Chains A and B, each alone.
Chain A
Amino acid sequence: MKVSYQWLKEYLDLDVAPRELAEKIARTSVDINDVYQPADGLKKIVVGKVVAMQDHPNSDHLHICQVDVGEEQPIQVVCGAPNVTTGKKVIVALNGARIADNVKIKRGKIRGVESNGMLCALQEIGFSDKIAPKDYSAGLYFLPDDAKEGEPVFGYLGMDDTIIDTDVTPNRGDMLSMYGNVNDIAAFYGLQSHFKELPVEENGTENTGDLVSAKIDDHKIAPTYKLRVIKGVKIADSPLWLQIRLWNAGIRPVNNVVDVTNYILLKYGQPLHSYDYDRLPGHDFGVRHAKEDEKFTTLDGDEQTLKANDILVTVDNQPVALAGTMGGEGTAVSDQTTTVALEAAIFDPVMVRKQARRLDLHSESSMRFERGINPATVETALNEAAELIKELAGGQVTKGIVTGSEKSAADKQITLSLAKVNHVLGTDLQMADVEDVFSRLRFAADVKDDDQIEVTVPARRWDIFVAADLYEEIARIYGYDNLPSTLPVMTRNRGGLTPRQRFIRASRHDLEGMGLTQAISYSLTTVDKAKQFQIDPVAEPMKLDFPMSSDHVATRMSIISGLLIDIAYNVSRNVNNVALYEEGRVFLPKGGERPEEQEHLAGAITGQMLANDWHTEDRPVDFFQVKGIVERYLHNMGLTGKVTYVADQSRREMHPGRTANILLDGQLVGFLGQVHPSTAKVYKIPATYVFELNLESLIAAPKVANEYHPISKYPSITRDIALLVDDDITNAMVMDVINKRGGAFLKDVHLFDVYSGLHLPKGKKSLAYTLTYQDDNDTLTEDQVNAAFDKVTKSLTDTLGAEIR
């Protein structure tokens, strides 16, 4: 709420500067969006009187005006406004002035005629189109006739006020009124409030009840509903003081009746609605839910199509307003209005909120209904509005209020324990301190004994229900700054990461160490992408009921597809070497209420791991580089089980000849390989290699215990062997034979060459290995090694048809 500092000063003897007050409000009541003066950034803008004017010789709409700005001679100003009139007091930006949007005004010539300044509309000195009064929306604003030439205009327009723009949390609806602000500020500064209510003096002869009736069938919609009638009003502009109150609060002045209702809304937080009595379809007011598809034209001229949960104010069952949200075009107060029916009500916060939200009709009124209304001031506000209308627009306030429903404005009693207060806040308050807080808040408090105090919470603080709410009142009025600052007393909690959390963190660090950068992609994706690259495919992903965008409708079942989107994003920006990994959840529907959430780890690499360099050869990423990363990672994680890589052709999104399933002790835990060129084309990415691992399986798998293996002090002996084998004999098959037939002293087998092509028979390839033999307890003899080596050689020949080269 835009709170006027000058208005506050009418009710409180404030001796603090506005900024200091705002800081205190932020620390004690509600947050502050901004503190500003409407005149901020403006200068040399003064009152001027147009003393003479003539048409511009070179223009059909410009005028040459002589303007008295309090100097010896009037100044000459060329002006294009249609309403410029001799004798009127206007806003003059002098030579050197700053006006809205930091525009500087300079002396100059307009179509050959000298102009020493500018006559301004309100918009030109910073008023928004939404706030400037309609009458002046297309021309100059006329200042009061008694404005003194040459004086700054700011004081006349309330622009020297300071506005404290508060950001009110949903619970503090009371702070959406001057009344609530005054009460809170009085409490935290310990000030006396001079807030004044204006009582009504009914001067009419008729009874209100003879003019209107109100029958509220559903008290849920309108727990309080009251009407007054003012007859014989004369619609006109409001006095300037009232207009200033409104525009400084961000509300456009309209006419004396509507302005009064808005003024009361600001003062009490009570929205009011004024109807043109003579344009009502009858005289019997009520409220009801709308009919499905019922039509209603709001006063902004839009025809609204309603839903059954919308709420309406009706007269003779005809809709006349969207309750709490916006009035109807047909019954709005206009220049011709002479009799006004004035409504003060409380409408259901939830119903108003839903209606305003659905129709996008948020207003000062709906905002207040949504956060609740003080039941204690509904009638006060209605009376004061009637009295002010009578004073400003004339007319007779008829006798009595018509009441359709009335919510109780009873106080609430809450008993507090001083010990508990101190226990919750960590303070050492005395009973007198607590009493002081409630006396400042003007909550009655009755001390029962050393510990118990009964607090009476008035209706104006409808946000307070339980003891905890009062702890907050004590804490904030006592001051959060005054609370001690401690840490929870030491307990026996050990804290720390679980083994699972440590495993995940180690996985991340491991991949980063190998050159992959962590990505965080979106979990929500398209159905097609959600289904791609699954380790162990599930048919359909979990889908959102009501998605926001077609790109994010289902939860991912693999991480790779998101990484490919990231790669496409990079490649399209000419970043061609990308190595990313991601660790996070995938969501696998398996028949339960919620999908199974699995932690996965995936990587995607395109281009080169290392950028081109003067010193190293180009090395585009390939299958074996990615496999090396996966192998090293799985090694580092210390799994006891046996990891194997099995060629796989079943994955549609993967290259059929360059994809391997990753098995841990025969159980599928992931896969790696090249993205199928056709899939890559759809993603608009070049050749990309990927892997994905199910971390759940890896976390659950047994790990190697860290134990020491003594290093043999006896020498090792190596033998190299080169095999010529058929193309379909795999390294795994050869390794299998070597490991099985290698004998007790075979310590290591290292593949050091793979060759096929030139110089070899067609359909053959050459594989070369180094075998290392060592005995932990003795020196091996050449004979022992030769015997073992011959055995392996023979097995390779016999079982794989290998030719030893």
Chain B
Amino acid sequence: MGLKEKLADLRQQGLQEIENSQDLKKINEIRVKMLGKKGPITNVLRGMRDISVEERPKVGQFANQVRDDLKTAIEEKRAALEQAALDAELAAETVDVTLPGSPVAQGQPHVIQQIIDQVVDLFVSMGYEVAVGDEVEQEVYNFEKLNLPKDHPARDMQDTFYVTPSVLMRTQTSPMQARMLEKHDFSQGPLKMISPGKVYRRDTDDATHSHQFNQIEGMVVGKHITMADLKGTLETVAQALFGDKLDVRLRPSYFPFTEPSVEADITCFNCMGKGCAICKHTGWIEVLGAGMVHPNVLKMSGVDPEEYGGFAFGLGPDRFAMLKYGVDDIRNFYQNDVRFLNQFDEKG
């Protein structure tokens, strides 16, 4: 048997062993055994002296070829075994991806707060300032300065929690109209304000009445403010809050502190105007009260109604929330059952 044949045998035998090995340890042993200094290839090459000088380089080249082939096979096998080991390890780490994720603590803004913030943000984007008033108010500001003298019928509609004859829990956010009119420096431009807050009425709490609820008051007074501006503003608010596919209608109403007074209705979003229980079969839902600031209100706050005029409007976040989400009991808002509160995620 020639050296070449011996080497070929060794290669055949080595490749077979590599092929058959099942773990990295075995592969290492094969590497040491086959390619080491005392390995069979070196051993075969000792027989070089017995062959012709011309044959020697050819055999040497072939021996190198065998060595390289074995090396490559070992590396390939090692990589394959390592990959298999990693695959097995990862397979053992497999989780049930359908198990629920770990809970993360996350609170929610109150649904009424969400509506207040939404309205406030809308008006702030239109250049309004936010004026927050006191909840314990002087009677003068809550009534007299709003053109509601004693014995005015509208005072009956707002049964009041008095503290003393001159101090009360405010029944509306409108006192901020008078307070801001008195404070505003008209030489710096018109007054544009929005005033959210809690108000109180002497009512027995039931599904539709609450002795505490919220209002948002808005007012713009300047030299060139028109009823058309009011109409545009109310349409903007109603559509921003309820969607621009709904129609807005204005109809005459009555508030002592505005003249003309209007109410803004939107198409009933439940029946789209066809008539249903929510809209009492009218197809319309009342969402805002508004009007042109009554000259008496301006006068009482030291603003000349000949020179200045403007509009005011008010809306009820509680009522908005009830309409928007179909909440049928206003007490839900103040009992703070977390199952109720957490229903209103803040997508708006």
Contact = CB atoms under 8 A, between A and B. Distances in A.
Interface of A: 26-35, 169-172, 349-350, 353, 357, 370-371, 423-427, 466-469, 471-472, 475-476, 480-481, 483-498, 501, 505, 508, 511-524, 542-549, 552, 555, 566, 569-570, 573, 575, 578-581, 584-585, 587, 593-595, 597, 609-611, 613-616
Nearest to A30: B252
Nearest to B259: A468
Nearest to A351: B151
B189 A493 contact: yes
A584 to B, nearest CB: 8
Greatest chain A CB density within 10 A among B127, B236, B284 is at: B127
Nearest to A33: B280
Contacts of A423: 224, 226, 309
Contact of A485 (B110, B232, B341): B232
A495 B192 contact: yes
A522 B212 contact: yes
Contacts of B235: 485
Contacts of B228: 425-427, 483-486
Interface string B94-123: 000001101111111110110001001001
Interface in B294-348: 294-295, 309, 333-339, 341-342
Given A26-B249, A543-B163, 17 more contacts: A425-B226, A426-B227, A427-B228, A480-B231, A486-B231, A486-B232, A487-B126, A488-B192, A488-B224, A491-B222, A497-B130, A517-B107, A518-B110, A521-B334, A548-B161, A549-B211, A587-B136
B164 interface: yes
Contacts of A26: 249, 251, 282, 284
Given A169-B254, A520-B333, A593-B167, A370 B338 contact: no
Given A350-B151, A518-B108, A566 B130 contact: no
Contact of A493 (B127, B229, B294): B127
B103 A616 contact: yes
B135 A585 contact: yes
10 contacts: A480-B262, A485-B232, A486-B229, A488-B190, A518-B108, A520-B336, A523-B200, A524-B211, A569-B336, A570-B338
Binding site of B, secondary structure by majority: helix, strand, loop or mixed?
mixed
Given A426-B228, A488-B225, A521-B334, A495 B109 contact: no
B136 A610 contact: no
B106 A521 contact: no
B89 interface: no
B113 A515 contact: no
A113 B49 CA distance: 136
B253 interface: yes
A580 B338 contact: yes
Contacts of B128: 493, 495
Interface in B22-64: none
B16 interface: no
Most A CB contacts (10 A, CB to CB) among B190, B212, B227 go to B227
A513 B103 contact: no
A257 to B, nearest CB: 31
Given A471-B260, A486-B229, A517-B342, A547 B222 contact: no
Nearest to B341: A517
Contacts of A31: 251, 253, 263
B256 to A, nearest CB: 9
Contact of A34 (B99, B124, B280): B280
Nearest to A580: B336
Contacts of A480: 231, 249-252, 262
Given A486-B229, A487-B233, A594-B167, A522 B334 contact: yes
Contacts of B260: 468, 471-472, 475-476
B110 A512 contact: no
Nearest to B99: A614
Contacts of B105: 514-515, 579, 609-610
Nearest to A471: B260
Interface string B186-222: 0011101000001010111100000110000000101
B259 A594 contact: no
Contact of B107 (A33, A34, A497, A516): A516
A575 B339 CA distance: 8
A425 B202 CA distance: 36
Nearest to B252: A476
A560 to B, nearest CB: 13
A519 B341 CA distance: 8
A491 B102 contact: no
Interface string B125-146: 1111110101111100000000
A170 B261 CA distance: 12
B2 interface: no
A467 B67 CA distance: 112
A472 B259 contact: yes
Interface string B253-285: 110000111110000000000000000111010
B251 A27 contact: yes
A581 B107 contact: yes
Contacts of B104: 515, 610
B242 interface: no
Contacts of A587: 135-136
Contacts of A496: 124, 129-130
B229 A488 contact: yes
Given A426-B226, A493-B127, A544-B161, A597 B253 contact: no
B93 interface: no
Nearest to B153: A170
A519 B110 contact: yes
Nearest to A172: B254
Nearest to A357: B156
Contact of B338 (A29, A487, A517): A517
Interface string B11-25: 000000000000000
A545 B309 CA distance: 37
B220 to A, nearest CB: 5
A149 B90 CA distance: 92
A497 B130 CA distance: 6
A179 to B, nearest CB: 19
A79 B229 CA distance: 66
B127 A495 contact: yes
Contacts of A425: 226-228
Contacts of B110: 517-520
B164 A491 contact: no
Contacts of B261: 472
B338 A575 contact: yes
Given A476-B252, A613-B103, A424 B337 contact: no
B43 to A, nearest CB: 56
A169 B236 CA distance: 26
B246 to A, nearest CB: 15
A616 B102 contact: yes
